[in-house]
Amino acid sequence: MATFSNEELLQAHTELWDLTFGYLKSMALECAIKLGLPNAIHRRGGDATLPDLLDAVSVPESKKAHLPRLMRFLGAFGIFTADAPAAGERANGEEAGAVYGLTPVSRLLVDDSGANGSCGSLSPFVLSQTTKYHVKAAMHLPEWFTSDDGAAAAEMPFRTAHGADLWGVMDRDPKMNQVFNAGMGSDTQLAMDFVIGNYGDVFDGVTSLVDVGGGTGSAARAIAKAFPHVKCSVLDLPNVVNSVPPDGVVEYISGDMMSSIPATDAVFLKYIMHDWNDEDCVKILKQCKKAIPESGGKVIIVDIVVGSPLKAMLEAQVSFDLLMMVITGGKERDEHEWRKIFMDAGFSHHKTRPVLGFMAITELYA
């Protein structure tokens, strides 16, 4: 067995610690959002001292001394900047503290309109992925891996932890349903800005579109706004559709994509296929194929294609894959795996292009 040099040992030890305490990153990020720290810094013009933050957020007197430690942690991982004051600089007669600023990451968490360019805040997305349900499900990974009793609870760690799948939990917990839909909507806004702004040609020749599993209609509304000639509809479960007030822009249809999809020029699937195993994906795609015309019809898929050559992108892709294993029983797929389910569903050819970093857009033809 190879021996470590002192330098290698120390590096490995540091990396192991970083992995061990990795959960604190997402919890600290959630805390920053709930305290309103990104908004507080933004509303101070992009720079804020500790007294500025304490004036802006609701922290009891007994906890105020701990806020600098949270800010230091978030700064170490690139969420905020922390510029030390010049030597001897004083504020209100006291030694000046650090000045905190926004980074590209924390700018994505600001709620104020226009702070992030054309996209909205991704804070709802973060909050939708750091719920008690997600955390508890992930903690059941070891139990799930060693269970082989064939029971429904063994299908995925989420069901092992909660006795129901994600959709069942949202059905019985209206607050979770609201948090999840808000999160999906916020991420959709950013994704659709990129798709429409850079790959709008995928909608060429389309006069009608059904957004399958489209939730509250964020993607469909964005498409309808950019392409007014396209009649956009959303197909989703009754508990989702019934919670959305009519907007006069998108038609909301209650249904089950496994059973039937309304006839349309194009079916739009954003972050849907990764929720399902291969067998169910083939069922969904076969329903999509029935819904579109043989000539000129298409299925448009926005999802991950695993295999990015860039380390950060690949880490995001495989993290999403593990998340799917934990909460839905689905998976993220590489190019070969995508091609197989396309062929099994009876599609003749497809075209895939990278979009939004670790995501891709695929046009699938009958």
Active site positions, annotated: 274
Residues 6+ apart with CB under 8 A from 2: none
Phi/psi-derived region of residue 106, left when phi > 0, alpha when psi is between -120 and 50, beta in every other case: alpha
Q: What share of the chain is helix, strand, coil (3-state, %, to 5)?
A: 50, 15, 35
Amino acid letter at 32? A
- Please provide the size of the chain in residues: 366
Q: CA-based Rg of the chain, rounded to a whole angstrom? A: 23
- Identify the helix (H) or strand (E) that includes residue 264: none
Report residue 97: phi and psi, to 5°: -95, -175
Amino acid 49 reads: T
**Closest listed residue to residue 68, CA positions, set 89, 82, 87:** 82
Q: Are 100 and 80 in contact (CB under 8 A)?
A: yes
- Report the alpha-carbon distance of residue 153 to residue 161 in Å, rounded: 8
What single DSSP character describes residue 335?
Answer: H
Residue 65 DSSP symbol: G
